[in-house]
A and B are shown apart, each in its own frame.
Chain A
Amino acid sequence: MTKIIEFKNICKEFKIPEKRTGKWSTFLNFFKRKYKIINALKNVNFSIDEGDIVGYIGPNGAGKSTTIKIMSGILTPTTGECIIDGYTPWKNRKEYVKNIGVVFGQRSQLWWDVPVIDSFELLKDIYKIKDDEYKDTLKLLNEALDLEQLLPRPLRQLSLGQKMKCELAASLLHRPKILFLDEPTIGLDAVTKLAVRDFIKYINKVWHTTIILTTHDMNDIEALTNKIILIGKGQILYNGSFDTIKNKYANEKIIQVEFAKPYEKILLNGYELISHDKNVAVFKTKKDTEFHTKAFINEISKEYDIIDFSVNSLSVDEILARLYKEYELQEK
């Protein structure tokens, strides 16, 4: 496999002016600004193989969007080296961007007042796409995303999900080798989300497009890829398969128990009590111990009268929350 993206020791500092307070503040601010440094990325290293789909995940403010912006040539890192498809994004920008497509889920690249198809035609001229190639691409995108009805309408008339479909199509008109998606599923309903995921997989398959996406929806990751990069507080914490992480927590079970009558205090040998409210209690298996139904029933019926219980594995969201907590990434 050839590496298409390489990130070496990338650091990004944001310098934000800090306002003084007090008697002479305005005066002092005018002459000498005080700055606060935010280290958005600290020594970030990773590489991505050609043709891969990679999920770039991490809590809010971790540095995901900053990384995407550096990769798409929008931001210059403070220090470090980044080679993508042989280019340094923030150097030969005009040459480099011909090979990439970018979608920021919270922004729009299409023109507001004019029909979507007019925006597409303008992009065609900006990227100097040949007529027949454009026709083919548009046909393919049209079929995959069902755009026919949307194209003649101005962007301002489209719903969030319809807009996202058009944004995705717009970023692919020039058939980029690499596609960066920053929260492409944000705000979408279940059906549109599925459509977008299918589309991402499809593009990856037919064009072998390398795709990097950020998301807070772990189902996106589950549906699309096993390769994840986890970032927190500007540092890469994990780079590898999602299954490995899931397996790490596979043993952990959550057991919800319903009692025949309310108990004042509950204690169960070998299990961790998570919550307790009148006649319902939730337990968790202790680290590195396996769960056996029979043993559990034996243990709990020694002292308590139970009616019902259910056993669940951790959901992907819980796993992630656990992971963030383990790395102490949760904002307090």
Chain B
Amino acid sequence: MKNTYVSIFKMEFKGELQYRAKAISGIATQFFWGIMYICLYMAFMSSDSVDGFTITQMASYIWLGQSFFALRFPGIHKSAGYEIANGNVCYKFTRPINLYNQWFTEYLGEKLASTLLRFLPIIVIASLLPTNYALSMPVNFTAFILFIISLIIGGLLCVSISMFSIYLTFVTLSPKGTTTIVATIANLLGGAIIPIPLMPSAIQNVLNFLPFRYISDLPFRIYIGNISITHGLIQIGISLIWLLITIVIGKLLIKNALKKTIIQGG
């Protein structure tokens, strides 16, 4: 007998690996947007650096974002949203399993498989680009280790924030609309659209008090050396607290939604 969640994870992973064509077109899109963003922010950063955030660092920040796109984009599992809207979710109710955990595992499996299929080619190609446009090496080995740790926490945080989309889908029955809203908020406040180091410091201070920048801004800035090791460690602690808080809130919300839910369709 295997662990149920390991099996669910494997199933999602296997399912996602079937979509190789999707992954290849995904890589192309990611690459295109990477170049676009770098050119845009290069024009915007008239001098070589903004508050110590250099152009080379900016390029690496953008490329990391493109490489780990799936891990930092809070969406909704490809079938979870629709099954709630059309009522197929009723079968999940008839299984001896916690639904929050199941959705969490499913989405994590999908995201991880999708990331593993895409990140390496983007990283390799981006590293070979001319300076100023290229992805640089991590500042040092410790930073690299902290980057990995915070990226894992960030990926989990991304999934735990995505679970709010599941809750909102129960309320609105519109997976597309809710996902767009949640993703836009998280991306905007998490530095996925405009890198946080480029934002005015007043806004940066506010964003430090929200969970979103711990998804990807923290690991990326540790990688490029924009955040020191000591600060990085403290902030990893904070991100763990946020992970815990979002999971607890998500669980409560979904428990509540399940109680009130009306399965659609006869």
Chain A residues packing against B (C-beta within 8 Å):
14, 61, 65-66, 69, 72-76, 93-95, 97-98, 100, 102, 104, 106-109, 111-114, 118, 121-122, 125-128, 130-131
Contacts and interface: CB of A to CB of B under 8 A. Distances in A.
A195 B259 CA distance: 38
Contacts of A118: 11, 14
B37 to A, nearest CB: 33
Nearest to A72: B94
B112 interface: no
A122 B11 contact: yes
Contact of A65 (B2, B95, B98, B266): B266
Given A106-B265, A107-B87, A125 B96 contact: no
A95 B98 CA distance: 11
Contacts of B1: 125, 128, 130-131
Contacts, number: 75
Contacts of A128: 1, 4
Given A76-B259, A118-B11, A125 B4 contact: yes
B226 to A, nearest CB: 41
Nearest to A176: B94
Given A72-B90, A118-B11, 19 more contacts: A61-B266, A65-B266, A72-B94, A74-B90, A74-B93, A75-B262, A76-B259, A94-B98, A102-B91, A109-B91, A114-B11, A114-B14, A114-B15, A121-B7, A122-B7, A126-B7, A126-B95, A126-B96, A127-B95
Contacts of B11: 111, 114, 118, 122
A75 B4 contact: no
Central interface residue in B1, B2, B95, B98, by most chain A CB within 10 Å? B95
B96 A69 contact: no
B32 to A, nearest CB: 28
Given A104-B90, A114-B11, A14 B262 contact: yes
Contact of B93 (A65, A73, A95): A73
B114 to A, nearest CB: 14
Contacts of B93: 72-74, 93, 97
Central interface residue in A69, A72, A74, A94, by most chain B CB within 10 Å? A74
A131 B87 CA distance: 32
Interface of B: 1-4, 7-8, 11, 14-15, 18, 79, 87-88, 90-91, 93-98, 259, 262-263, 265-266
B95 A113 contact: no
Given A65-B266, A128-B1, A107 B7 contact: no
Contact of A69 (B18, B79, B88, B263): B263
A75 B259 CA distance: 8
Nearest to A129: B1
Contacts of A14: 262
A242 to B, nearest CB: 24
Contact of B4 (A61, A74, A112, A126): A126
A73 to B, nearest CB: 6
A104 B264 CA distance: 13
30 contacts: A14-B262, A61-B266, A69-B263, A72-B90, A72-B93, A72-B94, A75-B262, A76-B259, A94-B97, A95-B96, A102-B94, A106-B265, A106-B266, A107-B88, A107-B265, A108-B91, A111-B11, A113-B18, A114-B14, A114-B15, A118-B14, A122-B11, A125-B3, A125-B8, A126-B97, A127-B95, A128-B1, A128-B4, A130-B1, A131-B1
B90 A69 contact: yes
Central interface residue in B79, B97, B265, B266, by most chain A CB within 10 Å? B266
A113 B15 contact: yes
Nearest to B14: A114
B94 A122 contact: no
B35 to A, nearest CB: 33
Contacts of A61: 266
